[in-house]
C-alpha cells in the first residue's frame, strides 16, 4: 500500500487527533528520535509527500504501540525510517537489491514496490549501527509481512497502511475505527487482507510469498480458534 494521496475528512481528523499523544522518553531516546527525524528531513528534502507520510507512520506506529503495549520508541523509530530507500528510483532500488543479493525468488522487476523494505534493513544498519535487529526487521517486513510477525512488525505494518494522510477510502477508515477494538493479531490480519484486495482490485502482480503467508495465516488463525 504505497500510493500516497493527501486528503482530509472528519474521520481522518479524529484518528489524527488520537495519534498526537507523546509517551515519556528518556533524554537519550528523545535525542535519537530528533536525529532520525532531522536525517529523514534532509534525505527526503525533495519528496515532501514521502517525508510527511514517514512522519505520519511514525506517529501512528507510536500510537498503536501505546494502545497495544508495544515498545513505543522502537515503533516510532521504525516508522520514521521505514521508507528510507523508497525515495530512490525503482531502477536504483533494483540495482541495490541485486548488489546486496536480496532474493525474492522471482524476477526483481516484478516486485519493484516491495524491495525497499528489505534493502533498508541492510543499508540502515550500516548508517546507524545501534539500530536494534527488531527495528530493522519491522522495517524489512513492512512491505511483505511474514508468517511470524512480531508485535512490533505488526504495529509498523498497520501504521503504514492506516496513517491519517492516506486517501480516505472506506476500507482504511474501517481499519482506523478498529484500532483498540480488535486485538493486534486481528487488526494486522484485516490490514494484510486489505492490502491483498487492493493489489487484486488494481490488477497488479501478486507476489507468491504473499499468497503463502496468507494461506499459512488462515491455517494458524483457524487452529488458534479451535483451541480457544
Give me the residues that bind Fe ion (CB under 5 A), please: 83, 160
- Report d(CA 113, CA 167) in Å as an integer: 18
Nearest-approach distance from CB 2 to Fe ion, in angstroms: 5
Q: How many CB atoms lie within 10 A of CB 126?
A: 8
Nearest-approach distance from CB 145 to Fe ion, in angstroms: 12
Q: What are phi and psi of 149, to 5 degrees?
A: -70, 130
For 217, how many CA atoms within 13 A lie in the half-sphere containing its CB?
A: 19
Of 61 and 219, the one with the shorter C-beta distance to Fe ion is 61
Nearest-approach distance from CB 114 to Fe ion, in angstroms: 8
Of 49 and 174, the one with the shorter C-beta distance to Fe ion is 49
Nearest-approach distance from CB 163 to Fe ion, in angstroms: 8
Of 71 and 160, the one with the shorter C-beta distance to Fe ion is 160
Q: Any bridge partners for residue 182, and if so which?
A: 179
Instruction: Concatenate the DSSP letters of all residues of 46-72 into one string.
Output: T-HHHHHHHHHHHHHHHHHHHHHT--H
Of 160 and 194, the one with the shorter C-beta distance to Fe ion is 160
179: three-class secondary structure by DSSP: strand
Of 58 and 66, the one with the shorter C-beta distance to Fe ion is 58
- Gyration radius of the chain's alpha carbons: 17
Task: Using the Cα atoms of residue 82, residue 121, residue 208 and residue 149 in order, give the sign of their dihedral.
Answer: negative
Nearest-approach distance from CB 216 to Fe ion, in angstroms: 22
Nearest-approach distance from CB 160 to Fe ion, in angstroms: 4
Of 151 and 160, the one with the shorter C-beta distance to Fe ion is 160
| Residue 183 per-residue DSSP state | -
Q: Give how far the C-alpha of residue 4 lies from the chain's centroid of Cα atoms, to the nearest Å.
A: 13
| Residue 9 per-residue DSSP state | -
Amino acid at each position: 500500500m504505497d500510493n500516497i494521496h493527501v486528503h482530509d475528512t472528519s474521520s481522518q481528523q479524529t484518528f489524527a487527533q488520537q495519534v498526537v499523544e507523546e509517551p515519556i522518553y528518556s533524554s537519550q531516546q528523545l535525542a535519537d528520535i530528533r536525529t532520525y527525524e532531522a536525517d529523514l528531513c534532509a534525505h527526503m528534502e525533495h519528496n515532501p509527500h514521502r517525508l510527511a507520510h514517514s512522519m505520519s507512520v511514525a506517529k501512528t506506529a507510536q500510537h498503536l504501540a501505546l494502545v497495544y503495549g508495544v515498545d513505543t520508541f522502537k515503533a516510532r523509530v521504525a516508522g520514521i525510517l521505514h521508507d528510507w530507500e523508497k525515495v530512490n528510483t525503482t531502477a536504483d532500488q533494483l540495482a541495490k537489491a541485486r548488489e546486496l543479493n536480496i532474493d525474492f525468488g522471482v524476477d526483481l522487476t516484478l516486485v519493484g514496490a516491495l524491495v525497499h523494505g528489505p534493502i533498508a534493513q541492510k543499508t540502515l544498519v550500516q548508517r546507524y549501527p545501534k539500530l536494534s535487529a527488531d527495528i530493522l526487521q519491522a522495517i524489512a517486513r513492512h512491505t511483505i509481512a511474514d508468517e511470524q510477525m512480531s508485535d512490533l512488525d505488526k504495529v509498523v505494518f498497520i501504521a503504514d497502511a492506516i496513517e491519517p494522510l492516506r486517501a480516505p477510502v472506506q476500507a482504511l477508515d474501517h481499519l482506523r475505527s478498529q484500532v483498540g477494538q480488535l486485538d493486534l493479531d486481528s487488526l494486522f490480519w484485516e490490514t494484510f487482507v486489505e492490502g491483498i484486495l487492493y493489489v487484486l482490485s488494481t490488477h497488479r502482480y501478486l507476489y507468491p510469498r504473499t499468497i503463502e503467508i496468507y494461506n499459512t495465516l488462515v491455517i494458524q488463525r483457524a487452529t488458534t480458534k479451535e483451541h480457544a
